[in-house]
Structure 1
Amino acid sequence: MAVPPLTDDVGGFTVRTRFVFAVRLLENGQCGSEPTPDCFDRSHVERSPTTEAAFLVPSGGAILRMSRQRFLAVTATALAAGAAAACGIGTHEHTGEGVKVMTATTMTTAQEAKLHDVAAQLIWKWEQPAGVELIREGAKITTHLINHGPLPVELADSWLPTPADRARGMIKYFADRDYDLEVNAAGDIVGAGISLIADEKSKGHISTINDRRFYNWCVCDIVMFPMVLKARSDVSTLDPRTGERISWTVTPTGFENISHPDVWFTLAPAHGGEIRQVYCDRVNIYADRAGAEAAAAADSQIAAAPLQELFDDTKKLADMF
């Protein structure tokens, strides 16, 4: 059965999605009855002239969204799995209501709403005066750590904007804003999201920037700092359930070389206490969907989503630096 034209309303449901590639490519005849491995080749996707809509899942009345980054990642995974899977990104049905697409990375409507809510809370925190101040001073600290190593606290203190701030000092300035900087035995600052030392928590979150290894406070940090620097970075972290190491490459445009096919993560709001306790400890990567969903079920404040969603959400934070 031919795929019907895509409209703003399918089967009585409004299409609230951001991108439509699979449906358009099917309509344009780029996927035949015998799909070939290049059916969803990246070049086809990049050349697609349309940037509206996405995948429709009419069964059960749900219409789910898939971002462009997630689409590219899923298609790459599907291509690796074989030509037949590639054309449908898992499975597809030609019906009177559109194209039904189900994948391991598809979120439910409730999961999408939760992710949106938690991400909005996170952005809100950093847009407040205290958040803006932390970003302003944190950018100076992390730049020094990455380029020069440990930061003498006297030098850090001199960067603060007012005499009162400088008298209080950088470490206290951050602590007053629920952010405890890391220091070494000499009293130098060695960690502020990205770290020069491998403590019990940060040793699990590893990033490589300009051929140097760094440890990080949380999953978002191993993604965000390469984005800030517009660098390509091989990163890895540990599944908190199993201890299994999960790796991928952060690029300025997305994630590549993901070691596991069904990676999900959890995202938490960052208010209500010291940043590593309320945020870092609850933002984790899981080798499969079930792990992230179990964590979200145990903590009503956190959201669970496919790894590719982490790119879009973290990019918003990186753009604040």
Structure 2
Amino acid sequence: MDTTSDQIADRLTTAFSTADHARARPWLWSTLLRLLSQGRPVTTGQLSAATDASREEVREALATLPDTEYDDAGRIVGSGLTLNPTPHRFEVDGRHLYTWCALDTLMFPAVLGRTAHVASPCHATGTLVQLTVEPDRITRVEPATAVVSLLVPDDVTFVRSSFCDQVHFFASAEATRPWLAEHPEATAVPVEQALALGLRFTTTLKDPDQDGCCC
């Protein structure tokens, strides 16, 4: 990573580590991602069984993750990785899922220990950005000039609105210029740099007892 990416990674880690929802990671959130990657809604009972925590402990931890998406039956359908359609398509093990932001698509293969096929339109031009992301590297980027926008929020209580909604794929650095002019606090980095930043950031999210496994 270059100095800018290092600084962004440090600032993101600090922001998320000091947030109220930090105590829900890694024991719950990484397990929740693995369960959601199966392509089905997740119950508190499943999370309790998978984490050896009581249902009350699970419910208390989920309460610190206010962006979590639920279906009409009260089952979890999204928390970074989601069953609900977004612009960021994320295919893993043949299952068609979605993520809240561009950086999620680069980070989650490392958390899941799985290769993902990603497709997301350029936020400015609509050009489709396509990637193949392995747990530790990217093996395909089209177009090769693709970049990711990043913004470090002051408050990450609501992760999706404060952070994810500003993290997009763009087909090129040139394509980011109008958007960056409207968001002077943001920056954009090449996809490979975004991956390096994301891999560093995932160390604060992963459960070492479940590294590389899948529920």
Q: Shorter-chain-normalised TM-score: which range?
A: 0.7 to 0.9
Distance 2:34 2:191 in 1: 27
User: Per-residue displacement from partner, 1:25-46 (whole Å, max 9, x unpaired)?
Assistant: xxxxxxxxxxxxxxxxxxxxxx
Q: Give the one of 59, 82, 89 matched to 1:195.
A: 82
TM-score by length of 2: 0.81
SS at match of 1:312: helix
Q: Percent identity?
A: 20
User: Per-residue displacement from partner, 1:49-70 (whole Å, max 9, x unpaired)?
Assistant: xxxxxxxxxxxxxxxxxx6xxx
Decide whether aligned partners of structure 1 residues 316 and 196 sit closer, same or farther in structure 2, where only a CA change above 3 A counts. same
Return 5+ residue gaps in structure 1 as ranges: 1-66, 68-111
- Aligned pairs (5 A) from 1:1-321: 114-128=4-18, 130=20, 132-136=22-26, 137-147=28-38, 149-156=40-47, 165=57, 169-175=60-66, 180-198=67-85, 202=86, 204-272=87-155, 273-320=157-204, 321=206
Is the 1:160–1:170 Cα contact (8 Å) retained in structure 2? Answer: no
Return 5+ residue gaps in structure 2 as ranges: 207-215
SS at match of 1:258: strand
Distance 2:146 2:107 in 1: 18
TM-score by length of 1: 0.56
User: Per-residue displacement from partner, 1:245-272 (whole Å, max 9, x unpaired)?
Assistant: 1101112342222111311111111442
**1:165 Cα deviation from its structure 2 partner:** 4.4
Is the 1:156–1:170 Cα contact (8 Å) retained in structure 2? Answer: no
Is the 1:165–1:173 Cα contact (8 Å) retained in structure 2? Answer: no
Indicate the structure whose relative CO is greater, using CA pairs within 8 Å and at least 6 residues apart: 2
Distance 2:148 2:142 in 1: 14
| Cα-Cα RMSD | 2.6
Distance 1:267 1:244 in 2: 19
SS at match of 2:109: helix
